[in-house]
């Protein structure tokens, strides 16, 4: 396949966005939350864990812990017990308590709505910050690059990079800023529902004609 120009790739990306938007009009973050704090905690818990599993735990967790102070007023062992169904629950419970301490000490118990403040919190990297900013505050500061976004971005030929940071930089050049948050949702939904890692359903894929991998048959 000849090297694709930036202009051509940008045009193809726009077509991919259009098709995915039509295919998944209800696409959204699949973590359950009703406040920025709940989304922040849920996203910390979601590292190396499925959204489904996180939602099971937070269905009762968020009834018990309603503000940042609630998380730090319990012994660490109690919080660990409350999230023990989640992988790495010991480390995550420590991160949540440290994070909530900082929220109270530096932000009046509220989740800050800027990248610099968010990534300074325990357990919060750029991906988590992008999730919170994009979904809780409707701020398109970056593109969330999880395993689905990374995999599909490579499969679609939008980037050759492997690290989330470099993939995000490439996607920001191709995707209009207003679509940064939703682009991640569309790719995640497509990855979960159509384009699986081992057995993508290329025969009925909505964007197969825009996918170099699909047309070449490499993944079929």
| Catalytic machinery residues | 127, 146
CA–CA dist 111, 90 (Å, integer): 22
CA–CA dist 204, 220 (Å, integer): 12
> C-alpha angle 217/218/220, rounded to 5°?
60
Contact 62, 73 (CB under 8 A): no
- 115 half-sphere exposure, CB direction, 13 A CA radius: 10
CA–CA dist 163, 22 (Å, integer): 29
CB atoms within 10 A of CB 154: 15
């Amino acid at each position: 396949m000849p090297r694709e120009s930036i202009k051509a790739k940008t045009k193809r990306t726009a077509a991919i966005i259009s098709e995915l938007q039509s295919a998944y009009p209800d696409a959204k973050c699949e973590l359950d939350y009703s406040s920025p704090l709940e989304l922040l905690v849920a996203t910390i818990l979601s590292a190396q864990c499925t959204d489904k599993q996180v939602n099971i735990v937070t269905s009762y967790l968020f009834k018990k812990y309603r503000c940042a102070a609630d998380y730090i007023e319990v012994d660490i062992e109690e919080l660990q017990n409350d999230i023990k169904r989640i992988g790495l629950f010991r480390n995550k419970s420590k991160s949540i308590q440290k994070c909530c301490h900082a929220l109270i000490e530096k932000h009046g118990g509220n989740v800050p709505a800027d990248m610099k403040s968010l990534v300074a919190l325990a357990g919060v990297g750029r991906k988590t910050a992008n999730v919170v900013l994009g979904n809780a505050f409707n701020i398109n500061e970056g593109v969330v690059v999880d395993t689905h976004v990374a995999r599909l971005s490579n499969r679609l030929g939008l980037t050759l990079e492997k690290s989330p940071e470099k993939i995000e930089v490439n996607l920001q050049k191709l995707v209009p800023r207003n679509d940064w948050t939703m682009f991640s949702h569309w790719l995640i939904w497509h990855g979960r529902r159509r384009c699986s890692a081992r057995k993508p359903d290329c025969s009925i894929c909505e964007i197969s004609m825009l996918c170099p991998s699909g047309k070449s048959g490499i993944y079929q």
